[in-house]
Amino acid sequence: MNFFKNYFESLAKSITSIQSDKKLLLNALDLIQETGVRNGKIIFAGNGGSAAMASHVSVDFTKTLGLRSVNFNEADLITCFANDFGYGHWLEKALEFYADPKDLVVLISSSGRSGNILNAAKKAKVMNLPLITLSGFKADNPLRKMGDLNFYAQSCSYNIVEMTHLAWLLSLLDKLIEENHKNTKRTKNSQR
């Protein structure tokens, strides 16, 4: 039982660590809302579990908020671009081909050291795209310094870091759903 108690305490500590920087969440909300106002889209990307998370979150943002969101998890896209440009560069090339000037990029890497993610972050900056990063493991990981907003999960456990990232992203989604619901309710009340 101690394993599970310690595990869930570690997860809770990691997720709630964001409360020490409440402005980070509010600033992320602003970036996401600004992207919608500009009629841009959110591009989510990661590797492995972070890629699965990117898929999950991009579908939820599109379906529940009506905010266009995409991810680059198509096997043909990844293998074609990795074959032609090298695995370390496939994601930056995908941004080059698919990102528009009004878009927001969200890059997720547990270690903050994945070459393809770092190259994509550099490309996002060159393209003047707003960039949110989510990383973990070592506090001095390079991805943590590259975004306009940088979320960091202080853990060396892949699962703790990934679940923390997912909780943070879904909390942003749920906050925006709540705000949309309140705005809809206010609009209906003012039309009476």
2-190 folds as Rossmann fold (3.40.50)
Euclidean distance between the first and final Cα of the chain, in Å?
56
Residue the block writes with tokens 């060396």: 156
* C-alpha span between 178 and 17 (Å, rounded): 22
Structure tokens belonging to residue 191 = 């039309």
Beta strand 131-136 with 104-109 is: parallel
- DSSP assignment of 38-74, as one string? TT--EEEEESTHHHHHHHHHHHHHHHHH---EEE---
The pLDDT, as a whole number, for residue 186 is: 64
Mean pLDDT by 10 residues, the chain (192 residues): 93 93 94 97 97 97 96 96 97 98 98 98 98 97 98 96 98 94 68 60
**Confidence (pLDDT) at 144:** 97
- Rounded (10°) angle between helices 90-98 and 115-126: 30
| Strand residue runs (E) in the chain | 42-46, 69-71, 104-109, 131-136, 149-153
Q: Do 124 and 105 meet the contact criterion of CB atoms below 8 Å apart?
A: yes
**Per-residue pLDDT, 86:** 97
CB 41 within 8 A of CB 70: yes
